[in-house]
């Protein structure tokens, strides 16, 4: 039974569900993050949603499908795998021990579902599809090697689960088989090398454990300095280092530190075609780099067991924050481009929000109606037009001082009004907890999802207006857009859309339509979410058949029997 | 007939050959750079060579093999290719026109030889090996496409020549066939995109033309700013943009601008398996990146026809130079590491020279015996121990000011004695002309060659001392070492060795021994020279069979008939 939030029991504030999900339920699987943590929309944010989605009071009276139902085998259903025989279960048990195997339906659902709106909607509807026959928690690389060999010999599909934060249907098991869970045991420190500024960890180490080791390197590792990994995706708390690498994630500080692709020095893989560790050099000229070929392979070539990452000296005391309001999107983009092309070093965090997102931000940060807001309105920074740029510089003290100084100079030239670092600090405060709000809203049938794309400066405006036009064409829908990863050649666009949908299929059709608009608008199929099975079908039209065939040839080399994460991921075919 | 340098006709100064080579001679092929340019060793440098190589006066009395002999078909030799039939020559003529075909022996030698000491020695000895049957100068991508198709159908080996500066036997045609020369016609600007800060050029555009376009972008391209490509390898004047990419070159300013691998945004290839252009995004998460797989492919997958490169705003007025003398190699390396790990932005140029190279530099820059030199000797900066660090910061003004300030702070802590920017300016002055000196010394049988490797900070000292030990074990041999490309994880070591050898084979055995020592000392097989046929045989032991098999699988996919640059390059087998 749920204990509802009694205090909020009035017409204005919905009765948010703030209790941990019941054990073994669908809700326990789809709920974001820690079971006992939650975050509800602020009244300002909720007001916008009510208004823009044209919701009435009674839309927040009754919960929609909240998923507090046990995940159980449907009555009368025969659960007999065509892939895995009882002998195989014994075979795997012999490798990892009975304690490292889960056959129960809850585990099989949990470890094959990610956090896309589609995953969540289906789980709320109790729809169970594409689950493995067996979940395995390997203890070491030798066990993984034996499992890969076993599965290759027996043609058993093999999937890998890191932190479970995929938003691209990357974890589905279309043909059943086995899912390896890496974060149970394969989460250890392998080597810390201060002189080389690298750390080697097993692929299943989670973000917070990784960053803690580095921040507290003097205390925990006997280091001379503090370090940071510089990688902070929104999923940071619930994603693994290996997951970052195989899906090509980018953290919120990537404009300075680089994305996961840039951060990897070396990787160790176990594949059906053999095991290897790439050499540890920061740069080489020894032909095409196998180390890079493996990045972003999303489990189709083999299992990533350990990874050596670049680390950075950590000077939180030198962080400089800044935020500006611009009269319109054009001037905001121009300022961001001039910062990115300025040759004075990049801020670690740099974000620009379009007018719709900026309006929401003003409400979320309780700035609307403030003295500042009134001042802005007088000064031609009007709601519906005005846009926020904000960021943070990290590194050596005078380096960060100068970045802030140059940023200010550039922003001033584009009529940016300095807002101090307050909005960035507010944003930073909520950056890892915002996903919790989705569950609260979903409980009332309000759906939130995101799609994102790389784009060059030249194509940015076209992509932005094209995708917005499509999304806003759906009645009663919010579309907020920001760019948050900057390069001298371009950036990304990140589209957040909030809408209602009667059924998962309805939502899926709408969402796939956005992907099509992104491609037509010259955005990339993904900037940092990866491809998975969601973008897989678009790969051929996006990169072209000749290039996709290259990836297929590499796949065929590593995995001739197609056991590694099969079923349409990366556009690899079945 | 040679006109000798009369002024120098005494025992002290050798009679350097400063005249252009005779047309059609071996010398015209192997001589570095422009026919009418030369550079002779300074008296200080020559003194060291005389002393360390234990040379006598008469060693500089008579020229050795100077190669002023016409490249001609040996008398009585039947020149009938097993690969190319007269019909094929007609077939290729139909594609490119008779004016774009060369069948003469001089062209065939010229366009299949690079600038390694081994190439030069063989040419001085008149040894002609591994030349193509036909040299072709394609005019456009359509012609290249037809040639690739023709060669694939007829199984004719196809090679590509960019600027001809390979030092890894990358241009040899072991099986005859065709060499495509890219710098004749395929050297045009395709697109300049100022908003995206990219430029697209055909692969055969040479360094100076490329950099001139960018530096003079306002005048030549109507741009708002000046730009730089940021890529200045020592071969800059005589290498092509495409060559930089397919061999993974690194310029002398790579510590800030990145190496060729980092600079490429997109590439267009024609391969036996099809043609394609990779998408132009600064970053993506759409699986393994075909754009990166192609970099460093050294012609074995297909022909690079055009490339889109990152460019940078150019502020030569903000350049800051610096140089320091350290008491020893240890403190020099430590300072360089602290600069590279300091999080204040990297200098574009950063170089450290070991004691032997620093001694030579003091002589070359005429610092030895100066007041400064005397001061240093008093202050414990002794010849044979002391080492030079020098560099240059580029970018926005306060950014470069701060880099110089931080560099000074770090160097001071390691007892670095500030020498002003003078040594860097001296070095910069000679950086593209120094290779001319090799020809002058070679004319007296004094050989100079270089090998280089990536190395982590941790392994730097071991690699340095191991390789030095091997080289110095050869009597009367100079070994100068520097590091010139810096990363927070490590750097490169660049070994310059000066010695005498009776015969090319003697030299080759010595040189291959150095490569073996590099691998044993945990250096990479190459940091920026590429692999070619020289390092090819070491690829398997270096990256391991499992990884080499990945490259072979990709090769097989692109080029199932093995027509693209066959014969051991990149360790691909025959």
Question: Which residues in chain A are closer than 8 Å to B547, comparing Cβ atoms?
Answer: 276, 278, 290
Closest residue to B276, CB basis, from A193, A285, A544: A544
The answer to whether the Cβ–Cβ distance between A284 and B247 falls below 8 Å is no
Q: Which residues of A touch B544 (CB under 8 A)?
A: 276
Residue B460: is its pLDDT beyond 90?
A: yes
Given this model, what pLDDT does residue A7 score? 40
Question: Is A343–B394 a contact, with Cβ atoms under 8 angstroms apart?
Answer: yes
Q: Do A250 and B345 lie within an 8 Å CB cutoff?
A: no
Count Cα atoms within 13 angstroms, Cβ side, for B154.
21
The reply to whether A281 touches chain B by the CB within 8 Å rule is: yes
CB B248 to CB A558 under 8 A?
A: no
- Pairing relationship of beta strands B198-202 and A320-326 according to DSSP bridges: unpaired
Alpha carbon distance A4, B448 (integer Å) = 82
First to last CA, chain A: 42
Tell me whether residue A549 is exposed, middle or buried, using C-beta atoms within 10 angstroms of its C-beta: 0 to 12, 13 to 18, 19 or more.
middle
Cα gap A288→B263, rounded to integer Å: 15
Question: How far apart are the C-alpha atoms of B524 and B519, rounded to whole Å?
Answer: 6
Listed residue (A287, A342, A368) closest to A488, CA to CA: A342
- Which residues on A lie below 8 Å from B458 (Cβ)? 193, 195-196
**β strands within A291-418, DSSP E:** 303-310, 312-313, 320-326, 349-353, 387-393, 417-418
Residues of B in contact with A330 (CB under 8 A): none
The whole-number average pLDDT for the span A469-489 is: 98
A266 touches chain B (CB under 8 A): no
Verify whether the Cβ–Cβ distance B490 to A546 is below 8 Å. no
Three-point CA angle A198, A201, A206, nearest 5°: 115
Rounded CA-CA distance A206/A272 in Å is 26
pLDDT tops 90 at residue B364: no
pLDDT above 70 (res B83): yes
Closest A-chain CA to B398: A402
- Amino acid B78: pLDDT: 66
pLDDT for B486: 98
**pLDDT at residue B390 in the model:** 98
**E strand spans, A182-226:** 189-193, 198-202
From the options 3.30.565.10, 3.40.50.300, 3.40.1260.10, 3.30.70.3450, give the CATH code of A316-431: 3.30.70.3450
CA separation for the pair A439, B185 (Å, rounded): 61
Q: Tell me, yes or no, if the two domains B86-182 and B189-313 fold the same way.
A: no
**Close Cβ partners of A547 (under 8 Å, ≥ 6 residues apart):** B276, B278, B290
- Is residue A82 scored above 90 in pLDDT? no
Section A140-164 average pLDDT? 98
Instruction: Choose among B297, B310, B395: nearest Cβ to A287.
Output: B297
For chain A, give every domain's residue range: 86-182, 189-313, 316-431
Q: Is B223 on the interface with A (CB under 8 A)?
A: no
- No. of H helices and E strands in chain A? 23, 18
- Partner A contacted by B287 (CB < 8 A): yes
User: Residue B574: is its pLDDT beyond 90?
Assistant: no
SS3 B161: strand
- Indicate if the alpha-carbon torsion angle B33, B38, B40, B42 is positive or negative: negative
Q: Do B261 and A250 touch (CB under 8 A)?
A: no
CB neighbour class for A99 (10 Å; exposed up to 12, middle 13-18, buried from 19): exposed
Is A458 within 8 Å of B193 when comparing Cβ atoms? yes
State phi, psi for B310 to the nearest 5 degrees.
Answer: -65, 145
The model's pLDDT over A402-430, given as tens digits with 9 standing for 90+, comes to 999 999 999 999 999 999 999 999 999 98
Q: Which pLDDT band, with edges at 50, 70 and 90, does A371 fall under? A: confident
Q: How much is the pLDDT for A369?
A: 83
3-state secondary structure of A35: coil
How far CA A313 is from CA of A135, A240, A317, B413, B508, in Å, comes to 39, 21, 12, 18, 44
> Is B402 in contact with A405 (Cβ distance < 8 A)?
no
State the average pLDDT for chain A. Answer: 95
The answer to whether B108 touches B135, Cβ cutoff 8 Å, is yes
**B402-to-A256, A344, A401, B399, B476 alpha-carbon distances in Å:** 18, 10, 10, 5, 44
Q: Would you call A249 and B196 a contact, using CB atoms and an 8 Å cutoff?
A: no
For the stretch B83-95, what's the b/e string if a residue is b when 16 or more beta carbons lie within 10 angstroms of its beta carbon? bbeeebbebbeeb
Question: What is the model's pLDDT at position A233?
Answer: 97
Dihedral sign computed on CA atoms, order B75, B76, B77, B82: positive
Which of A166, A284, A522 should be substituted to probe chain B, the one whose Cβ sees the most B Cβ atoms within 10 Å? A284
Cα gap B28→B188, rounded to integer Å: 26
Helices B355-364 and B422-430: crossing angle in degrees, nearest 10, is: 80
Is B316 at the interface with chain A, CB within 8 A? Answer: no
DSSP letter for each residue of B27-50: HHHHS-S-TT------HHHHHHHH
Q: Residue A414, Cβ neighbours under 10 Å: how many?
A: 20
Question: Which residues from chain B sit within 8 angstroms of residue A455, using beta carbons?
Answer: 281
Per-residue pLDDT at A9 exceeds 60: no
Residues present in chain B in total: 574
Which chain B residue has the Cα nearest residue A529?
A: B285
Interhelix angle A355-364/A422-430, rounded to 10 degrees, is: 80
Distances A197 to A223, A266, B352 between C-alpha atoms, Å: 11, 13, 20
CB contact under 8 Å between A343 and B405, yes or no, is no
Q: Is B294 on the interface with A (CB under 8 A)?
A: yes
B66 touches chain A (CB under 8 A): no
pTM for this model (two decimals) = 0.96
Which pairing describes strands A178-181 and A158-161: parallel, antiparallel, or unpaired? parallel
Q: Does domain B86-182 fall into CATH 3.40.50.740?
A: no
Q: How confident is the model at residue A3 (pLDDT cuts 50, 70, 90)?
A: very low
Is residue B150 less than 8 Å (CB to CB) from chain A?
no
pLDDT at residue B6 tops 70: no
Positions of B marked active-site = 494
Task: Report yes or no: B230 and B253 within 8 Å, Cβ to Cβ.
Answer: yes
The Cβ of residue A450 has, within 10 Å, a number of other Cβ atoms equal to 18
Which residues does chain B have within 8 Å of residue A302's beta carbon, measured at their own beta carbons? none
Q: Which helix (H) or strand (E) holds B417?
A: strand B417-418
Is B342 in Cβ contact with A396 (below 8 Å)?
A: yes
Q: Which residue from B minimizes the CA distance to A273? A: B546
In this structure, what are the phi and psi dihedrals at residue A231, rounded to the nearest 5 degrees? Answer: -120, 110
- Of residues B275, B284, B571, nearest to A526 (C-beta): B284
The verdict on B454 touching A (C-beta cutoff 8 Å) is: yes
Position A43 confidence tier, pLDDT thresholds 50, 70, 90: confident
Taking contacts as CB-CB distances below 8 angstroms, the residues of chain B near A276 are: 544, 546-547
Q: Return the CATH architecture of domain B316-430.
A: 2-Layer Sandwich (3.30)
Mean pLDDT of B284-300: 98
User: Which chain B residues touch A492 with a CB distance below 8 Å?
Assistant: 283
Rounded CA-CA distance A177/B327 in Å is 63
pLDDT on residue A78: 66
The helix/strand/coil state of A265 is strand
Q: What is the DSSP string of B169-199?
A: S-S--TT--EEEE-TTTS--EEEEETTTTEE
Assess whether pLDDT exceeds 70 at residue B194: yes
For tokens 């050029």, the residue is B201
Q: Which residues of chain B have a CB within 8 Å of the CB of A530?
A: 285, 287
Contacting B residues, span 474-533, partner chain A, CB-CB under 8 Å: 485, 487-490, 492, 524-531
Percent of chain B's residues with pLDDT above 70: 97
Interface test with B, best of A197, A217, A264, A285 (most B CBs within 10 A): A285
Whole-angstrom CA distances from A536 to A457, A532, B279 are 26, 6, 17
Which positions 177-216 of A are in contact with B (Cβ < 8 Å)? Answer: 193, 195-198
**Is residue A490 classed as helix, strand or coil in its secondary structure?**
strand
Q: Determine the Cα–Cα distance for residues A449 and A67; give it in Å rounded to an integer.
A: 19
Contact: A342, B535; criterion CB under 8 Å: no
d(CA B547, CA A275): 9
Whether the CB of A316 is below 8 Å from some CB of chain B: the reply is: no
Write out pLDDT tens, residues B18-29.
Answer: 999 999 999 999
Q: Which two tokens stand for residue A174?
A: 């279309």
Does B554 contact A549 at a Cβ distance shorter than 8 Å? no
Catalytic residues of A: 494
What letter would DSSP give residue B350?
A: E
Beta strands in A109-202 (DSSP E): 134-136, 158-161, 178-181, 189-193, 198-202
B406 CB neighbours in chain A (<8 A) are 396, 398-399
In angstroms, the separation between the Cα of residue B88 and the nearest Cα of chain A is 28
CB B309 within 8 A of CB B263: yes
Interface membership of B319 toward A (CB under 8 Å): no
Q: How confident is the model at residue A542 (pLDDT cuts 50, 70, 90)?
A: very high
Whole-angstrom CA distances from A287 to A265, A292, B117, B271, B526 are: 16, 11, 22, 17, 9
Inspect the interface and report whether the beta carbons of A490 and B281 lie closer than 8 Å.
yes
Instruction: Look up residue A388 and give its two tokens.
Output: 């926020």
Backbone angles phi, psi at A411, to 5 degrees: -65, -40
Q: Binding site residues of B for substrate, as ranges?
A: 438
Taking only the tens place, the pLDDT of each residue in B513-572 is 999 999 999 999 999 999 999 999 999 999 999 999 999 999 999 999 999 999 999 999
Nearest to B250 among A273, A283, A530 (CB): A283
| Residue A77 pLDDT > 80 | no
- CA dist., res. A472 & res. A474, Å (int): 5
Percent of chain B scoring above 90 in pLDDT: 89
| Residue B5 pLDDT exceeds 60 | no
How many Å apart are CA B18 and CA B149, to the nearest integer?
Answer: 45
- Residues 6 or more apart whose CB falls under 8 angstroms from that of B373 comprise B362, B367
Strand order in the sheet with B158-161: B101-102, B134-136, B178-181, B158-161
Residue A160: name the closest of A177, A149, A146 by CA.
Answer: A177
Residues 6+ apart with CB under 8 A from A387: A325, A326, A328, A329, A331, A332, A352, A353, A354, A355, A358
Q: Which CATH number fits domain A189-313: 3.60.20.10, 3.30.465.10, 3.40.50.300, 3.30.70.1400?
A: 3.30.465.10
């Amino acid at each position: 039974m749920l204990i509802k939030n009694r205090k909020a029991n009035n017409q204005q504030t919905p009765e948010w569900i703030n209790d941990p999900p019941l054990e073994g339920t669908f809700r326990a699987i789809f709920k974001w993050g820690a079971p006992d943590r939650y975050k509800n929309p602020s009244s300002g944010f909720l007001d916008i949603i009510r208004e823009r989605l044209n919701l009435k009071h009674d839309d927040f009276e009754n919960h929609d499908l909240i998923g507090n139902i046990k995940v159980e085998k449907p009555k009368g259903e025969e659960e007999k795998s065509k892939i895995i025989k009882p002998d195989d279960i014994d075979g795997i048990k012999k490798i990892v021990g009975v304690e490292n195997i889960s056959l129960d339906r809850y585990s099989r659902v949990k470890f094959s579902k990610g956090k896309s709106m589609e995953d969540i909607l289906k789980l709320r509807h109790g729809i169970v599809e594409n689950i493995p026959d067996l979940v395995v928690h390997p203890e070491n690389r030798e066990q993984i090697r034996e499992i890969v060999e076993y599965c290759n010999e027996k043609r058993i599909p093999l999937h890998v689960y890191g932190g479970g934060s995929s938003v691209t249907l990357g974890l589905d098991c279309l043909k059943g088989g086995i899912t390896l869970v890496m974060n149970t045991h394969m989460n250890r420190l392998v080597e810390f090398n201060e002189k080389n500024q690298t750390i080697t960890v097993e692929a299943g180490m989670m973000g917070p454990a990784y960053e803690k080791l580095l921040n507290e390197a003097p205390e925990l590792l006997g280091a001379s300095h503090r370090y940071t990994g510089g990688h902070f995706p929104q999923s940071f708390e619930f994603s693994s280092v290996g997951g970052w690498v195989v899906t090509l994630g980018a953290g919120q500080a990537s404009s300075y530190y680089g994305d996961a692709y840039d951060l990897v020095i070396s990787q160790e893989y176990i594949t059906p075609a053999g095991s290897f560790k790439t050499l540890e050099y920061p740069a080489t000229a020894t032909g095409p780099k196998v180390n890079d070929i493996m990045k972003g392979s999303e489990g189709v070539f083999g299992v990533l067991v350990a990874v050596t990452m670049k680390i950075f000296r950590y000077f939180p005391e030198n962080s400089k924050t800044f935020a500006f309001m611009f009269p319109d999107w054009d001037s905001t983009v121009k300022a961001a481009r001039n910062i990115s092309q300025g040759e004075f070093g990049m801020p670690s965090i740099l974000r620009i929000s379009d007018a719709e997102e900026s309006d929401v931000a003003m409400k979320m940060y309780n700035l609307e109606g403030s003295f500042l807001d009134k001042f802005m309105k007088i000064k031609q920074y009007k709601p519906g037009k005005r846009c926020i740029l904000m960021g943070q510089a990290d590194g050596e003290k005078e380096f960060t001082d100068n970045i802030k100084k140059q940023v200010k100079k550039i922003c001033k030239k584009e009529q940016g009004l300095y807002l101090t670092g307050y909005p960035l600090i507010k944003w930073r405060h909520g950056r890892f907890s915002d996903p919790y709000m989705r569950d609260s809203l979903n409980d009332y049938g309000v759906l939130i999802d995101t799609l994102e794309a790389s784009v060059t400066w030249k194509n940015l405006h076209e992509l932005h207006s094209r995708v917005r036009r499509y999304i806003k064409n759906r009645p009663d829908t919010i579309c907020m857009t920001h760019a948050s990863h900057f390069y001298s050649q371009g950036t990304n666009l990140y589209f957040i859309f909030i809408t209602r949908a009667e059924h998962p299929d309805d939502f899926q059709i709408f969402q796939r339509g956005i992907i099509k608009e992104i491609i037509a608008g010259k955005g990339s199929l993904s900037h940092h979410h990866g491809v998975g099975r969601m973008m897989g079908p678009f790969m051929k039209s996006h990169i072209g058949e000749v290039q996709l065939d290259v990836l297929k040839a590499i796949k065929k080399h590593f995995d001739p029997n197609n056991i590694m994460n099969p079923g349409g991921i990366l556009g690899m075919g079945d």
